Structure 1
Amino acid sequence: MRVRWAVVLVASVTAVTAPMTGLPGLPDAAASASSVPTSASASVPTSVLGATVPASGSLAGPVPGNPNGRAVVPLEARAVDTSRPNRVVGNGTPASCTSQAVVNAVAAGGIITFSCGPRPVTITMTATAKVRNARPRIVLDGGGKVTLSGAGKRRILYMNTCDQAQGWTTSHCDDQETPQLTVQNLTFADGNATGQRADGGGGGAIFVRGGRVKVVNTRFVRNRCDPTGPDVGGAAIRVLDQSRDRPVYVVNSTFGGAAGQGGACANGGAVSGIGVSWEILNSVMTYNTATGRGANPARGGTPGGGSGGAIYTDGNRFSVRVAGSVIQNNSAKEGGGAVFFVSNDRTGTLLIEDSALRRNRSAGFETKGYPGIFFLGAGRPKIVRSTLR
């Protein structure tokens, strides 16, 4: 998986501004508490027996994503109708919404909703919820009221079609059509995949290999994975392989949102993929950090990593499209304060449209003329009606 490149392009401070026609981005103060409260400690439960009702200013408050984003969302990327669930976590009270109930529901699959009472709740996961590979579809819908917390101790959600412990369903595990996982109207907080190095590790909130995954109307705050290493990434989401090379959709979602709320990992402070395409639509990525040191592959005497403050992608043929989104105030100790993109065979493409990338610090290197971006792929990044500075 290691990225092999020999040329480092020196950092540039040149601003790139494509023609603008009413940028559908947040204002310069976009990462204010109106997106995600700067202090969410009140939502951390004092008991792990069930869900707790957070005080005012909980994570399950403002609508996630970029409210001014105007990217068209394809039908397959939209939220799933969950009006007729197969399973409901809880019986109407916070105490009934337990970690074990979530684990059981995810293992059983189908459309899953929550009944935890009228107020927002946080469910502290005492174990990682794992998708069984024989399940064709899993939809996890928090109704805008549910936070799943890893308590800074564990990964929250896991799906891996090549993990025989979750059921072996095909000899082509890296390209099977199912399971198809949707998470929507949720908050994932304080997930931590540190030390989880199987299949490259990463994915403090969500790890996926195979099948399909999409994320809609969801918030990710304070998620973590290993702080150093050249082959680990995705503080919030790590994806390896998708069926028929279809993209991962991230729609109307927020990663970080305010100072102190962002994710941190060796690479990819928000999301990371290997040979995986992404469509990030009408979303916000702010205050995320790539914490590694030594880049990929690691320079001698360093532990490696530090690339992709928000987005880290590598592999061969894949694409990344960012549309109607705001990516700002992210940082990388090495390259690509906003986006690190390396297509090893130089066939991959990067498209940024109707978006704003601002104040994303690349401490080591970035591609000249593209502030916050390090790109090795087909041609040059395509920037349409967007601002980079």
Structure 2
Amino acid sequence: MRAAEGREAQAPPRDARLAAGLLTLALLAACGLSDWLVANSMLTLPLLVAGLVSAGVTAWGVPRLRQLKLGQVIREEGPQAHHSKAGTPTMGGLLVVPVGVIVGGLVSPADPRLLAVATVTLAFMAVGAVDDWRSLTRRTNTGLTPRGKLLLQAGAALLFLIGAASGGWLGGASPGDVVLPLGWILPLGLLIWPLGLFVFLAESNATNLTDGLDGLAAGCGAVVFTGMGLQLMLRGHEGDPALAAFCTAMAGCWLGFLAHNRNPARLFMGDTGSLAMGAALSAVALLSNSLWPLLVMGGVFLAESLSVIVQVWVFKATKGADGVGRRVLRMAPLHHHLELGGLPEIQVVNRFWITSLLLVLLGLVLLP
């Protein structure tokens, strides 16, 4: 616990605080512009309310989590500089994910799609909480077995897909079709089911892999949720105000969390938060036929996931008799490669945030 207390006693670096403030202002400005220019747009209020409530709840929750001794266990093979983070309270997702879900659901409580998105988000949060809890009680960086974790995620995703299909929501207005740019449509039919399952597993684990530096996943998640909300209002004449507002509520909860998660972090989201983040993005994308925008806007999550896949594949493919293979990166995921290359943690985070902002702009330009 001494390391965590020492980290908390330090004043947050000015550039980390400034970067988080500028990111918040940028997302608020984007939502405000949408509300001003687009009919039926109501993005700013959910963002503000969820952000303020989340910041307050996390401020209240940090000392409680510390009293419960829910301190992060740092994996031995990770960067040595991260060992000072050991003992920092984790499972912060328990504090903020319900805030985003509740605020987003209250925007349009009669819309059953929001209940479906909220349910699968909370289900993935529960899976992450079990994983985090087992890690903490065992004092290791591993909780559930990879197979057990995937099975629980797949089960929650399948229940969502069944509910969405029975409600006629899967794929938005054209069930089974995936809308692409330039007016192209990919008619998948029943193949939308395995694709939907893959999206849930891939996206939730990609956000999980991204959660490795102070403020990285929270900031990128806030940007992508805002981008998804914006594109939902810009597609078509009526847009989709309910799902769009849900997205900005989730963005707000992560911005509020960022007030305590920016460098030096006083709180980590854990798998509790990162799995829920990916599940919410997947659910919204599948219900609104926004898989293409999510792929583009969530490019940072995709790059982080691919960096791990490539690293593992090359290592196994080139492994010699001594059991050692070649490495493409100094360490996977990608953010650790850049960090070990000499780039300070705060700069890695800021560059990934900026990349996410640029990818959101690209996604808006390439709207189906």
TM normalised by structure 2 equals: 0.29
Q: Which has the higher contact order (CA 8 A, sep 6+)?
A: 2
TM normalised by structure 1 equals: 0.28
Q: Going by fraction, where is strand more abundant, 1 or 2?
A: 1
